[in-house]
């Protein structure tokens, strides 16, 4: 089973601002409880939702729940901006009840299809009013089950009630300090073919791990990604480790399948809501054309390739380029923009996503840019040389990379005497090699024979354990083997 939450399209005759709801957020939003039964009994899961805008479209609201019989309750507070009567509008496929400040403004507890109900109440600006919304469906038509809660007033145009006007009652969690990755500037052309064979992809630095599950079941999937740039494009390369890959075609949003999501805020606004300058690109496995939330794909190139160990699927690679012209940026060294990366997992084989990984922010990245990392455009990427150089900034690397063998050399800097431990995994996550080398202080290296390794992308991690008890641990990086 999977889960599915996304905007209600105009085909449902919803002419106000469409907002997605696929996520959880603490502080802002409403507390949500989903129930296995249609009468608000037998709770299955609790979460925080940024707003009420759900179209389940034949998918269960949560993994392991029914697709056709369930109920839900959202509780919290709503805070208006104007002192005047507000009309609450509920668009539903199902039954709904809306209670504001103890007053029932909507009560339609029958399972209807594609219907809207409304009720009004006088509110005061800046006051936090208790809000309770109940919903149920008893299986009449699961492909149209949905709920979207909007409001309007003489001064407020009709919109989905935004997350900044909905509060759980919990304290607002401060936005964490973002990670600060850097994209090096490529000096040679990048061919977008899903292989990541250019030297700039395979230098030691710049790889970032995506392994934070934010929703559903991710089946131990993980990913690493890197960004490059030149005067024409921003480049994105990612290797996803996932044992089951799904692409159900153009009729399904890419994020419901095996896909990578690339969130960009060119102005680094840190806005709590995405604005028109933000981009969300979706690169689905086995697609040749990307999707973007607002259709801005002109000039964007993508390619994917599947990773195998023999006949066993290990994952896939995405390589993409995005023109600076579409992002509205004139790039230069030191340019900073907001960035995050998501990985969508679908093992059920249908149109319902099973889970999602997010790198830096949260599961509502599609609507909230405040927790994006800050990507800076760096100087020229290192160029390949025959003799391995001293590690830059102390970060270990492997050379040559990519390689055809028969050996590779791991280069690192020992702060003091100790043992260098190096582990290498294949893209399936199986441990392929372990090195434990006792080394004195100073520049050191270890040799690994890879003649028995199959071609593909591997991951390695260097940990320097010193005799004093201290250690230096470095992020997992990628080794590409071609034969």
pLDDT surpasses 80 at 96: yes
In a domain, 137, yes or no: yes
- Whether 229 and 275 share a structural domain: yes
pLDDT at 13 over 50: no
Q: pLDDT: is 15 or 348 the higher one?
A: 348
Mean pLDDT of 156-181: 82
For residue 206, the model assigns a pLDDT of: 75
Residue 472 token pair: 């230096």
If you average pLDDT over residues 28-42, what whole number do you get? 92
Whether residue 298 is predicted with pLDDT greater than 60 in this model: the reply is yes
Q: Does 292 lie in the same domain as 207? A: yes
In a domain, 300, yes or no: yes
Question: What is the C-alpha to C-alpha distance for residues 83 and 124, in angstroms, rounded to an integer?
Answer: 4
In a domain, 175, yes or no: no
Q: What is the pLDDT of residues 380-407, one digit of tens each?
A: 887 655 555 667 667 898 888 888 878 8
User: What Rg, from alpha-carbon coordinates, does the chain have?
Assistant: 25
Same domain? For 145 and 16 the reply is yes
Is position 458 within any domain?
yes
pLDDT confidence of residue 123: 98
Report if residue 149 sits inside a domain.
yes
Indicate the pLDDT class of residue 24, thresholds 50, 70 and 90. very low
Claim: this prediction has a pTM higher than 0.85:
no
Query: What pLDDT, on the 0 to 100 scale, is given for residue 176?
Result: 65
With pLDDT > 70 as the criterion, what percentage of the chain qualifies?
89
pLDDT value at residue 23: 39
Same domain, 349 and 397: no
pLDDT of residue 389: 66
State how far the Cα of 74 lies from the Cα of 54, in Å rounded to an integer: 13
% the chain with pLDDT above 90: 48
Same domain, 304 and 342: yes
Which residue in 72, 25, 33, 87 sits closest to 51, CA to CA?
25
Report the pLDDT value the prediction gives residue 196, as an integer from 0 to 100. Answer: 82
| 84-98, 133-147, 375-389, 461-475: least confidently modelled range | 375-389
Q: What is the pLDDT of residues 205-251, one digit of tens each?
A: 678 889 889 878 899 898 889 999 999 999 999 989 899 999 999 88
Together in a domain, 158 and 193: no
Domain end among 360, 380, 400: 380
The residue that leads in pLDDT, 388 or 112, is 112
- CATH number for the domain spanning 46: value is 2.60.120.1560
DSSP sequence for 184-236: EEPSS----SS---SGGGGSSS--EEE-EEEEE--TT-EEEEEEEE-SSEEEE
- pLDDT given for residue 175 in this prediction: 61
Convert the pLDDT of each residue in 246-270 to its tens digit: 999 988 889 999 999 999 999 999 8
Assign 457 a pLDDT band (cuts: 50, 70, 90): confident
- The answer to whether residues 312 and 428 touch, using CB atoms and an 8 Å cutoff, is yes
Terminal C-alpha separation, the chain? 40
Q: What is the pLDDT of residue 387?
A: 55
d(CA 211, CA 240): 10
One domain for residues 286 and 258? yes
CB 242 within 8 A of CB 345: yes
**Domain co-membership, 270 together with 398:** no
- In this predicted structure, what is the pLDDT of residue 15? 33
Q: Answer with the one of 351, 380, 409 that is the final residue of a domain.
A: 380
Residue 2 resides in a domain: no
How far is the C-alpha of 47 from the C-alpha of 270, rounded, in Å?
A: 24
Confidence of residue 368 (pLDDT cuts 50, 70, 90): confident
Region 47-64: mean pLDDT is 81
Write the pLDDT tens digit of every residue in 401-428.
888 878 888 999 888 989 999 999 987 7
Q: In terms of residue numbers, what domain contains 300?
A: 182-380
> How many domains, the chain?
3
Instruction: Summarize the confidence of residues 30-57 as an average pLDDT.
Output: 88
Whether 279 and 404 map to the same domain: the answer is: no
Final residue before a domain boundary, out of 119, 137, 167: 167
User: Which DSSP symbol is given to 3?
Assistant: B
Residues 17 and 137 in one domain: yes
**DSSP per-residue codes, 313-371:** EEEEEEEEEEEHHHHT----TT-EEEEEEEEEE--SSSSSB-EEEESSS-TTTTT--TT
Q: Are residues 401 and 366 in the same domain?
A: no
Is position 1 within any domain?
no
- Asked if residue 3 is part of any domain, the answer here is no
Q: What's the CATH code of the domain at 423?
A: 2.60.40.4070
CA dihedral 70, 73, 79, 84 (to 10 degrees): 80
Judge if 221 and 293 occupy the same domain: yes
| Residue 200, domain CATH | 2.60.40.1190
pLDDT at 441: 85
């Amino acid at each position: 089973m999977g889960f599915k939450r996304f905007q209600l399209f105009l085909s449902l005759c919803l002419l106000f601002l469409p907002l997605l709801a696929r996520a959880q957020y603490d502080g802002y939003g409403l507390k949500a409880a989903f129930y296995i039964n249609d009468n608000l009994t037998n709770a299955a899961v609790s979460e925080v939702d940024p707003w009420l805008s759900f179209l389940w479209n034949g998918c269960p609201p949560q993994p392991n729940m029914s697709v056709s019989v369930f109920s839900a309750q959202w509780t919290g507070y709503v805070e208006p901006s104007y002192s005047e009567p507000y009309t609450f509008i509920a668009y539903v496929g199902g039954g709904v009840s809306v209670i504001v400040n103890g007053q029932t403004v909507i009560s339609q507890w029958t399972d209807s299809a594609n219907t809207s109900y409304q009720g009004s109440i006088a509110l005061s600006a800046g006051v936090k009013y208790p809000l309770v919304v109940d919903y149920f469906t008893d299986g009449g038509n699961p492909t149209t089950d949905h709920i979207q809660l909007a409001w309007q007033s003489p001064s407020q145009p009709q919109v989905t009630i935004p997350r900044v006007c909905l509060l759980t009652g919990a304290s607002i969690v401060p936005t964490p300090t973002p990670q600060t990755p850097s994209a090096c500037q490529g000096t040679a052309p990048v061919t977008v073919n899903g292989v990541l064979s250019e030297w700039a992809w395979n230098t030691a630095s710049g790889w970032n791990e995506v392994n934070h599950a934010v929703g559903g079941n991710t089946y131990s999937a993980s990913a690493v990604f890197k960004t490059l740039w030149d005067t024409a494009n921003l480049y994105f390369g990612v290797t996803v480790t996932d044992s089951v890959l799904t692409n159900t075609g153009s009729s399904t949003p890419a994020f419901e399948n095996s896909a990578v999501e690339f969130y960009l805020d060119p102005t680094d606004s840190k806005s709590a809501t995405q604005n028109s300058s933000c981009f969300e690109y979706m690169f689905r496995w086995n697609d040749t054309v990307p999707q973007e939330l607002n259709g801005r794909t002109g000039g964007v190139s993508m390619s994917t390739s599947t990773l195998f160990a023999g006949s066993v699927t290990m994952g896939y690679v995405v390589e993409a380029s995005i023109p600076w012209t579409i992002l509205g940026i004139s790039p230069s060294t030191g340019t900073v923009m907001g960035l995050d990366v998501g990985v969508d997992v679908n093992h059920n084989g249908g149109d319902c996503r099973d889970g999602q990984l997010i790198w830096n922010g949260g599961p509502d990245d599609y609507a909230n840019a405040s927790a994006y990392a800050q990507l800076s455009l760096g100087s020229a990427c290192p160029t390949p040389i025959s003799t391995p150089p001293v590690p830059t900034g102390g970060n270990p690397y492997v050379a040559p990379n990519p390689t055809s063998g028969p050996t590779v050399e791991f280069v690192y800097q020992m702060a003091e005497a100790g043992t260098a431990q190096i582990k290498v995994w294949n893209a399936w996550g199986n441990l392929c090699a372990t090195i434990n080398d006792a080394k004195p202080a100073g520049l050191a290296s270890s040799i690994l024979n890879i003649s028995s390794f199959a071609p593909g992308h591997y991951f390695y991690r260097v940990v320097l354990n010193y005799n004093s008890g201290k250690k230096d641990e470095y992020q997992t990086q990628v080794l590409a083997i071609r034969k």
